Amino acid sequence: MAARASQKTAAGETVRPPETVAARRRLLAALGIVLAFSFVIGLLMFVGPLYMLQVYDRVLSSRSLPTLGVITAAAVGALLVMAVIDALRTRILVRAAARLDADLAPRLFDAAFRAGLRHPEGNHVQALRDLDSVRDTIAGQGIAALCDLPWVPLFVAVCFLVHPWLGAAALLAAGLSVAMALANAWTTRRPQREGTRAGLTAAAQAADGARNAEVLQAMGMLSAARARWQQAHQAAVGWQARALDRSAVTMAASKSLRMMQQVLALGTGAWLALNGEISPGMMIAASIIMGRALAPIDMLVGNWRGLTAARAAWGRMDDLLRLVPAERARMALPAPTGHVSVAAMTVVPPGRTTPCLRGVTLDIPAGELLGVVGPSAAGKSSFARALVGVWPVVQGTVRLDGNEVSAWDPDVLGRSIGYLPQDVELLDGTVAETIARGGPVDADAVLAAARLAGVHGMIQGLEQGYDTRIGRDGHALSAGQRQRLALARALYGDPALVVLDEPNSNLDAEGEAALVRALQAVRRAGRTAVIVTHRTSILSAVDRILVLKGGQVEGLGTRNEILAALMPKARTAAPAGTGSGTGATAGAAPSPLWTTLGQSGS
């Protein structure tokens, strides 16, 4: 995750995101009810000691069976009530955890993926796993132990009422248990923090390796990738082992203390009973009460690791929500027609400081097809990302029908934009669901987009047609099939603006012909299209060409003007013996026209 957000008040206090503030308030309200139930449960915990007191001091001395029956029935009834209240307390915690998840999960999901666009260096999806950790902790035994903890002084006070020496013994045992809990927290804090950090790094490296499995296998990079992952993984295991070792010491000490406390309680009680200061029943009752006093502390020590992990997870959720504030409400705007205006646009890639585009200005009327060409690293893909609002504009403006792209609601704007990125990404689902952009499948619209993209026949040839599952990242399809399917997705819903980045990079001749026909249909429908390409074949379909070089506009004009201007440079830059145009030597492909910009100095 990116560095911790540093929004602070004038007093230096960290500003908490409003979503987690509201969720925290609702959680505290639920915990207030749980505390009240815990108080009742704490009172009912005295049923056992009182029952033993009555049995030893009254029933055994009087040998009265009716008395035994009455107090036994009363004790059983009270314990049944305690069981019901305890179950209700657990249900409240489970539902409070579910409510927390319902409140934060959608916002965290949006924030994680928006952060991935603005701050790609972080593992922002971890926040969703953090929410799972917090939810499980709230519904677990650790929170219940925390709610029982405030009533420990009540049990200690009752021990003092039985006899001051028994109270002192209980107070000493409670103090030592608290010291054990604090020692456990202090000694395991750093190992747990570093282990979590190393574990997240190892998980991210494993995910990167899985995404690039073909490259790792084909180029013999698996061993190097495994070594990098193993280094982070072993660091995580080492830190976690250190934390567990230290926790084991305090846990063993706490367990031994608990057993010594029982011996101390019974021994002190027996000594007082022998001296006639308390009865045998009071001795047994005090021993049970002292055990009840230390039970929440012992449970807290056992669940401390999970509680501290949940606290750290909540902090990471806070960081993400501070890093990516909620989208502000926007006024509804009329559906765009596709008129794009770019004025003095400067774009800086996320995570960088150097602009990749500077001072780009042009106007694209609705219904025009614009080709974007230029050498590598000219800013072509950055231009496409800025047009659709994926990357923010740091200076200047990008307007769609006169409104800045940032003024549109992203969900509303997305329905009017078709975007095919250079690296095709497909989500798991059926072919129909993929074309329908993951939303409800409109069969007529899906078929129309598939026919427009020229993939209807290809889809019919699949095993289950439009119901074929493409798998994660479309692994069941070839690169060309994925690209053509992504084109159909971009054309779904008749968008006003279509932005295609290298749409023919994986297409054969048939696929390119289908792409050209699709662009001609887009023009006839009066829609706007921007096509980034390195290949000249698709330029026959465009109206104008924008030439980018070094992040700036190198040329802008009609297709014939730009191609005529670049053709002489291509011939001049062609290596001897290769020829140019139709006269090129067989087997030697001429250089793309715009690559000569870097050679000619234009």
More confident residue, 571 or 41: 41
Percent of the chain, pLDDT > 70? 90
pLDDT at residue 571 is higher than 60: no
Q: What's the confidence (pLDDT) of residue 227?
A: 84
pLDDT at residue 549 is higher than 80: yes
Return the residue matching tokens 């993929």: 434
- H helices of 361-506, where? 380-387, 410-414, 431-435, 443-452, 456-460, 479-491
Given a contact cutoff of 8 angstroms between Cβ atoms, the answer to whether 126 and 52 are in contact is: no
Q: What's the confidence (pLDDT) of residue 62?
A: 80
pLDDT at residue 156 is higher than 50: yes
Quickly state the pLDDT bin for 253 (edges 50, 70, 90).
confident
Quickly state the pLDDT bin for 361 (edges 50, 70, 90).
very high
Q: What's the confidence (pLDDT) of residue 579?
A: 40
φ, ψ at 336 (rounded to 5°): -75, 155
Q: What's the confidence (pLDDT) of residue 7?
A: 52
Q: What's the confidence (pLDDT) of residue 87?
A: 92
pLDDT at residue 13 is higher than 60: no
Q: What's the confidence (pLDDT) of residue 583?
A: 37
Q: Give the range among 2-6, 159-163, 168-172, 344-348 with minimum mean pLDDT.
A: 2-6
Helix (H) or strand (E) holding 549: strand 544-549
More confident residue, 211 or 140: 140
Q: Give the range among 131-145, 250-264, 457-471, 509-523 with minimum mean pLDDT.
A: 250-264
Handedness of CA 329, 331, 334, 339 (dihedral sign): negative
Domain ranges of the chain: 1-140+305-326, 163-302
Quickly state the pLDDT bin for 415 (edges 50, 70, 90).
confident
Q: What's the confidence (pLDDT) of residue 529?
A: 93
Q: HSE on the CB side for 56, CA within 13 Å?
A: 16
Percent of the chain, pLDDT > 90? 18
Given a contact cutoff of 8 angstroms between Cβ atoms, the answer to whether 499 and 420 are in contact is: yes
Q: What's the confidence (pLDDT) of residue 211?
A: 67
Q: What's the confidence (pLDDT) of residue 510?
A: 82
Question: 460-483, pLDDT tens digit by residue?
Answer: 988 888 998 887 766 778 888 888
Instruction: Report the C-alpha gap between 544 and 563 in whole angstroms.
Output: 10
Over range 8-33, report the average pLDDT. Answer: 76
The DSSP symbol for 503 reads: T
Quickly state the pLDDT bin for 399 (edges 50, 70, 90).
very high
pLDDT at residue 345 is higher than 90: yes
- Which residues, at least 6 apart from 330, have a Cβ–Cβ distance to it below 8 Å? 407, 408, 409
Instruction: Report the C-alpha gap between 61 and 190 in whole angstroms.
Output: 58
Instruction: Report the C-alpha gap between 426 and 116 in whole angstroms.
Output: 17
pLDDT at residue 186 is higher than 90: no
Instruction: Report the C-alpha gap between 312 and 308 in whole angstroms.
Output: 6
Give the count of beta carbons closer than 10 Å to the beta carbon of residue 462.
16
Question: 193-232, pLDDT tens digit by residue?
Answer: 888 888 878 887 787 777 667 667 677 777 887 888 888 8
Q: What's the confidence (pLDDT) of residue 193?
A: 80
Question: 26-60, pLDDT tens digit by residue?
Answer: 999 998 999 999 888 888 888 888 888 888 878 87
Mean residue pLDDT across the chain: 82
Q: What's the confidence (pLDDT) of residue 364?
A: 93
Q: What's the confidence (pLDDT) of residue 280?
A: 83
Given a contact cutoff of 8 angstroms between Cβ atoms, the answer to whether 538 and 371 are in contact is: yes
- CATH class of this structure's domain 163-302: mainly alpha
Question: 64-81, pLDDT tens digit by residue?
Answer: 888 888 889 998 999 999
Over range 382-390, report the average pLDDT. Answer: 90
- Residue 236, token pair as written in the block: 């995580």
List, edge to edge, every strand of the sheet that includes 393-400: 357-364, 340-347, 393-400, 403-404
Instruction: Report the C-alpha gap between 155 and 172 in whole angstroms.
Output: 13
Q: How many residues does the chain have?
A: 602
Q: Give the range among 108-112, 184-188, 312-316, 341-345 with minimum mean pLDDT.
A: 184-188
Q: What's the confidence (pLDDT) of residue 73?
A: 92
DSSP string over 396-437 = EEEEETTEEGGGS-HHHHHTTEEEE-SS----SSBHHHHHTT
